[in-house]
Copies of this chain bind each other. A is one copy, B any other.
Amino acid sequence: MKVVIIGGVAAGPKAGSRINRLCGDAEVTIVEKGEFLSYAGCGLPYYISGVVKEQRELMSTPVGTVRDCVYFQDVKNVRVLNRTEATAIDREARTVTVVSREGIEQKLPYDKLVLATGAQSVIPPIKGVELENVFNLKDIEDAERIKTMLGDKKALNAVIVGGGLIGVEVAEAFQEMGCRITVIEFQLQILSLVDPEIAALAEKHFEANGVKIKTGTKVMEFKGETKVSSVVTDKGEFPADIVVMAVGVRPATGLAVAAGLKIGPTRAIAVNAQMQTSDPDIFAVGDCAEKYHLLTGQPCYVPLGSTANKEGRVAANAICGVHDAFPGVLGSAICKIFDYSVACTGLGEGAARAAGFDVVTCLSPAPDKPHFMPTAKLLYLKLIADRKTRKILGAQATGPGVADRRIDVVAVALAAGMTVDQVAHLDLTYAPPFSPAVDNLLTAVNILRNKMDGYLSGVTPAELHAMYEAQKEFTLLDLRSPTEYQQMRIEGSTHIPLGTLRQRVGELSREKPIVAYCKMSLRGYEGALILKNAGFKDVTVMDGGLLMWPGKLIKG
């Protein structure tokens, strides 16, 4: 069996190696356009920042062997043609035409073909985008060019166009290199994979670390003679010694389109659960292949190295006759912003509403370990669930606390179709150095249950802020301690410490709606129940409390 694989970075080598392991007599050839093989593209920002010292580390095995052509031949019994571009697929003749950098063309016959052509950076046709020092960051060559330009220079003005995962990682890397950074994002928030409240916290953290974030801002032009010198936007001009374009990637489907393979609605190559394209002898894996969302069943495009590896294995299994099926993705993602992380899985609030769910959400900011442990750190958690089925739909988190663990737990719960009640009873590992006795996630899920069961009516901080700005008639009831209230508070709020509320209910108007809150709104919830039990009709709780309040606070 002859197998040709086009693409040698992630999913391609994975598929090739496993095919050889399963079918020792298969003749596997990988065709790779670039110089380098099987490298960690996701590690590029960390190579730029110097966290990863050497280029070769990105393409080595854990014990330091570089995965070059010789390695693939000797260890994996896989032939690699690097610096070689596949230019055409002849599905009738079952051949792939390839051309080496030296211009030598040949036709490779195949029984099975695997497309692992990856993604390419989107380069918008902005005036000046071709100027020197305007970079992409897609491969090792890009990273080398950026590193060379940065050199030992300090305090360069860097502009990053695009505040998605890559833009955010590059911003952090450039900050570590001593640049003055501005991130320009066309949308109203960075990290559009999370909801606005979570993105706002991430933006705040960037600003606190000296990175300027300009959202809702459109790049009009890159100015400069030969080298870029500034970025002109609809909100002003920003000096720029270096620009990185990170406005997104799209699947590299040129070959597939030319070969007449079916392309899906996301413009990636359509595949079934075995990663098979519309031609049963051709498979597509990794960033060029379309994904399905596990919760909606709809096609989606979430290019990630983690998924690419799984898909490479599934395609290899299918080619070798081992039963396997890739069920789809949840859009799980994570990134680091200095000492914060931002992570998500499943559907955001907007996507959940758009998909027709009866959405219930909660915001729960809380320490990620018992508050008495000095290692405890704040984690902001948002959960999304469906009132009708009580199923959990998604989770998002940010802050200095441990996010990945909680988001991964939800990812598994989503894959299993669990209800909030099932999640609340999960037997997660517990000891004080690792988590509170009632883990943040379980506290948050219990808030959802209380909402679904009618014990808690929440109002989001954004909704409340809009009511407040509109000067609606309602009582903002702050239940914190006198010391906390003294330190900071919302103007016009009524202050009754929770411990005295039962005695002082008489002071509150029964005519006006009451919104109760505290720092995180756990006391807000207690207070609302006291008021309900005392006969107050219209009592809600501000989700997440003052920690999530987007408006102004008076201090001192």
**Interface stretch among A132-140, A156-164, A430-438?**
A430-438
Partner of A499, one of B71, B306, B418, B427: B71
A 59-98 contacts with B by CB, 8 A: 60-63, 65, 70-71, 74-77
B residues in contact with A529, CB < 8 Å:
21, 24
Partner of A429, one of B52, B70, B345, B532: B345
A332-B430, A428-B411 known; A404 vs B435 contact (CB < 8 Å): yes
- Measured CA separation A361–B530 after assembly (Å): 53
A226 within 8 A of B: no
Residues 326-340 of A, flagged 1 when their CB comes within 8 A of B and 0 if not, give 111111111110000
**Interface stretch among A264-272, A368-376, A461-469?**
A368-376
Whether B366 lies near A428 (C-beta < 8 A) is no
Residues 513-543 of A, flagged 1 when their CB comes within 8 A of B and 0 if not, give 0000011101000100110110000000000
A 145-172 contacts with B by CB, 8 A: 165, 169
B residues in contact with A10, CB < 8 Å:
437
A318 within 8 A of B: no
A 444-503 contacts with B by CB, 8 A: 446, 453, 455, 480-481, 484, 498-500, 502
Closest-CB distance, A428 to chain B (whole angstroms): 5
Whether A432 lies near B533 (C-beta < 8 A) is no
A357 within 8 A of B: no
Residues 17-36 of A, flagged 1 when their CB comes within 8 A of B and 0 if not, give 00001101100000000000
A104 within 8 A of B: no
- Measured CA separation A326–B51 after assembly (Å): 46
| A41 closest partner in B (C-beta) | B437
This protein's copies in its complex: 2
**Interface stretch among A215-223, A239-247, A253-261, A307-315?**
A307-315
A51-B374, A373-B51 known; A429 vs B343 contact (CB < 8 Å): yes
A263 within 8 A of B: no
Whether B326 lies near A425 (C-beta < 8 A) is yes
Most chain B CB inside 10 Å of its own CB: which residue of A57, A294, A326, A415: A415
A43 within 8 A of B: yes
Whether A332 lies near B416 (C-beta < 8 A) is no
Whether A424 lies near B310 (C-beta < 8 A) is yes
A58 within 8 A of B: yes
- Measured CA separation A203–B33 after assembly (Å): 51
Whether A306 lies near B411 (C-beta < 8 A) is no
A51-B373, A526-B21 known; A408 vs B437 contact (CB < 8 Å): no
- Measured CA separation A427–B333 after assembly (Å): 9
- Measured CA separation A499–B438 after assembly (Å): 50
Whether A294 lies near B427 (C-beta < 8 A) is yes
Partner of A412, one of B40, B343, B416, B455: B416
Whether B437 lies near A499 (C-beta < 8 A) is no
B residues in contact with A430, CB < 8 Å:
42, 304-306, 332-334
Whether B42 lies near A437 (C-beta < 8 A) is yes
B residues in contact with A502, CB < 8 Å:
74, 77
B residues in contact with A526, CB < 8 Å:
21, 75-76
A51-B374, A453-B322 known; A434 vs B305 contact (CB < 8 Å): no
A324 within 8 A of B: yes
A282 within 8 A of B: no
- Measured CA separation A407–B409 after assembly (Å): 10
Whether A439 lies near B22 (C-beta < 8 A) is no
Whether B415 lies near A429 (C-beta < 8 A) is no
Most chain B CB inside 10 Å of its own CB: which residue of A24, A308, A372, A446: A372
B residues in contact with A421, CB < 8 Å:
324
Closest-CB distance, A200 to chain B (whole angstroms): 20
A46 within 8 A of B: yes
A399 within 8 A of B: no
A298 within 8 A of B: no
- Measured CA separation A52–B40 after assembly (Å): 42
- A-B pairs, 5 with minimum CB distance: A24-B533, A416-B416, A306-B430, A412-B412, A334-B429
**Known pairs A306-B427, A310-B442. 4 more at Cβ < 8 A?**
A24-B529, A58-B372, A60-B371, A344-B429
Q: List 5 A-B contacts (CB under 8 A).
A: A70-B499, A75-B499, A306-B427, A416-B416, A416-B418
